[in-house]
Structure 1
Amino acid sequence: MEKISKNILNQVIIPRKPESYKGNYGKILIIAGSTNFGGAAILCSSAAINSGAGLVTVATTPEKFTAINTRIPEAMTIDYFNKQELLTAILNNTVIAIGPGLGISSTARGLIKTVLNNTITGQTVILDASALTLIAEEKIPLQTTAHVIMTPHQGEWQRLSNLPISEQTIDNNLKQLQGIDSKAILILKKHLSEIYYKDQVFQIQAGNSGMATGGMGDTLTGIIAGFIGQFGYSLKTVAAALLLHSTIADQLNQKEYVVLPSKIINKLPKYMAKFSQLTGEK
């Protein structure tokens, strides 16, 4: 297992070119939220925007439009019940994140299948939370040719992999991942989270118990989406997003007993500016 060092942040978070516009920094579609879990859509999309995504569209239930437009005026909203509008958005975005706060309704089931059936080579699909639960329960195959990233916590990975938490060893996780999707990246969220890709395993040396609060995973999904949108899909980009999320949380935890996801989000632009200025330094 290889440890992920903070040098990766300097390598991935590079200064922006003076002549650039929003189209240079990724088009992100976030399919999230439901009647009971609107906050997940807000946290995920806010994290994507604050981590530098150029254009963010949130596909959610219309009753949450006002909350999202008020809290995050930078984001666009579409109705995920409108099949044609959703399909157009899937085809027009480079990164699609689905799952935060989506719930496990028949609507959520249909949304997941629509994404997996219509994404194409070159796009990235991030599967989180409810999406992973439904894929496990419905045995939905990951047949897309897009890049796939899965972000389960250990309980979600247990449902997906059929591995009890006590049996989630490196070898077992690698074996099960190959059976689910041999080309996917797995981020296993736990104490010292791990990244699995093909035969490679990486571990971050960051994170704390103050992060054990609702919305933390939704925030991570948004950061990963924002990073891929502007820095491109790669194992290094994914690792940097995961590490930055926990690095900021560790700094907050020095003075705060509970680390709120919204506080991590607010710190993203500052920390990214810091690490971009260190590019090239040892």
Structure 2
Amino acid sequence: MEKINKNILNQVITLRNPVSYKGNYGKILIIAGSTHFGGAAILCSSAAVASGAGLVTVATVPEKFTAINTRIPEAMTIDYQNKNDLLEAIQNNTVIAIGPGLGISSVAKGLVKVVLKEATKNQTVIIDASALTLIAEEKIPLTTNAKIIMTPHQGEWERLSTLKIHEQNELNNIDELHKLNPKAALVLKKHHSEIYYQGKVLQITAGNAGMATGGMGDTLTGIMAGFIGQFGFSIETISAALLIHSYIADKLNKKHYVILPSLLIEKLPKYMASFSYENGHYLS
């Protein structure tokens, strides 16, 4: 198992070309939130915006529009129950993240199915939280033309893979991922989180107990969406998104007993800038 070190951040996070505009930095669709879980949509979308995504659209329930528009004026909103608007958004975005705070209603189930059906080979779909639960419980096949990233914690991975937590070792995880979708990437969230992709296994050694708070996973999904929108789909990009999430948390943990996801999001632009200047190369 290969360890991911800080060099990946210098490698991936590049200076922005002075001659560029928002369209150069990714179009992100985040399908998230429900009547009882609006905060997840806000954190995920905030993280995507703060990590540098060019355009972010949040597909959620209309009663959450005001909160999202107030907290994240940079993001656009659509009603995910409006089929035409949703299909248009799926077609027009390069990265689709689905699951944070979505719940497990019949509407949510339909959203997962339509994303897997409609996404194309030029898109990346990040599947998190409720979407993972629905795929496990409803036996929804992970068949799609898009590139797939799953971001379960160990309990969610147990439901998806049927592997008990004590059985979740390197070989078993590779085998079960191959059965679900051999082309998919798995980001297994745990103490020292791991990435599995096409037989390769990577691990970060960052992270701390202060991160054990609601919304931390939603934040990671947003960062990952923002990174892939800007830097493209690769195991390096996935590694950088995972590492910076825990790297910033470790910095904050020196003075903060609990790491609030909203504070981590606030620090993202600052740390990304420091790594981009260390790199010194333009994003082409």
User: For the superposition of Structure 1 and Structure 2, which TM-score range results when normalised by the shorter chain?
Assistant: over 0.9
Instruction: Please tell me the residue identity of whatever aligns with 1:147.
Output: K
SS at match of 2:15: coil
Hey, what does 2:21 align to over in structure 1? 21
Q: How does 1:179-218 map to 2 (within 5 A)?
A: 179-218=179-218
Hey, what does 1:104 align to over in structure 2? 104
Hey, what does 2:51 align to over in structure 1? 51
Hey, what does 1:263 align to over in structure 2? 263
Superposition RMSD in Å: 0.8
TM-score for the superposition, normalised by structure 2 = 0.98
Q: Which runs of 5+ in 1 are unaligned?
A: none
SS at match of 2:59: strand
Instruction: Please tell me the residue identity of whatever aligns with 1:159.
Output: R
Rounded to whole Å, the distance in 1 between the matches of 2:167 and 2:101 is 28
Instruction: Please tell me the residue identity of whatever aligns with 2:277.
Output: Q
Hey, what does 2:148 align to over in structure 1? 148
- Whether contact under 8 Å (2:15, 2:280) holds in the other structure is no
Hey, what does 2:87 align to over in structure 1? 87
Instruction: Please tell me the residue identity of whatever aligns with 1:233.
Output: F
Identity of aligned residues (%): 74
Give the count of matched residue pairs: 281
- Whether contact under 8 Å (1:11, 1:280) holds in the other structure is no
Rounded to whole Å, the distance in 2 between the matches of 1:5 and 1:244 is 10
Hey, what does 1:76 align to over in structure 2? 76
Structure 1 residues 132-170: Cα deviation after superposition (integer angstroms, max 9, x where no partner): 000000110111111000000000000000000010010
Give the superposition deviation at 1:198: 1.6
- Whether contact under 8 Å (2:126, 2:151) holds in the other structure is yes
Hey, what does 1:272 align to over in structure 2? 272
Structure 1 residues 201-235: Cα deviation after superposition (integer angstroms, max 9, x where no partner): 00001000000000000000000000000001111
Give the superposition deviation at 1:193: 0.2
Rounded to whole Å, the distance in 1 between the matches of 2:24 and 2:116 is 25
Rounded to whole Å, the distance in 1 between the matches of 2:36 and 2:161 is 27
Give the superposition deviation at 1:280: 6.0
Hey, what does 1:118 align to over in structure 2? 118
SS at match of 2:256: coil
Establish whether residue 4 from structure 1 lines up as the match of residue 4 from structure 2. Answer: yes
SS at match of 1:278: helix
Q: Which runs of 5+ in 2 are unaligned?
A: none
Give the superposition deviation at 1:91: 0.4
- Structure 1 stretches (4+) deviating beyond 4 angstroms? none
Q: How does 1:31-70 map to 2 (within 5 A)?
A: 31-70=31-70
TM-score for the superposition, normalised by structure 1 = 0.99
- Whether contact under 8 Å (1:57, 1:75) holds in the other structure is yes
- Whether contact under 8 Å (1:60, 1:77) holds in the other structure is yes
Rounded to whole Å, the distance in 1 between the matches of 2:50 and 2:151 is 20
Rounded to whole Å, the distance in 1 between the matches of 2:169 and 2:86 is 38
Structure 1 residues 14-64: Cα deviation after superposition (integer angstroms, max 9, x where no partner): 000001000000000000000010000000000000000000000000000
Structure 1 residues 83-135: Cα deviation after superposition (integer angstroms, max 9, x where no partner): 01000000000000000000000010000001001000110000000000000
SS at match of 2:16: coil
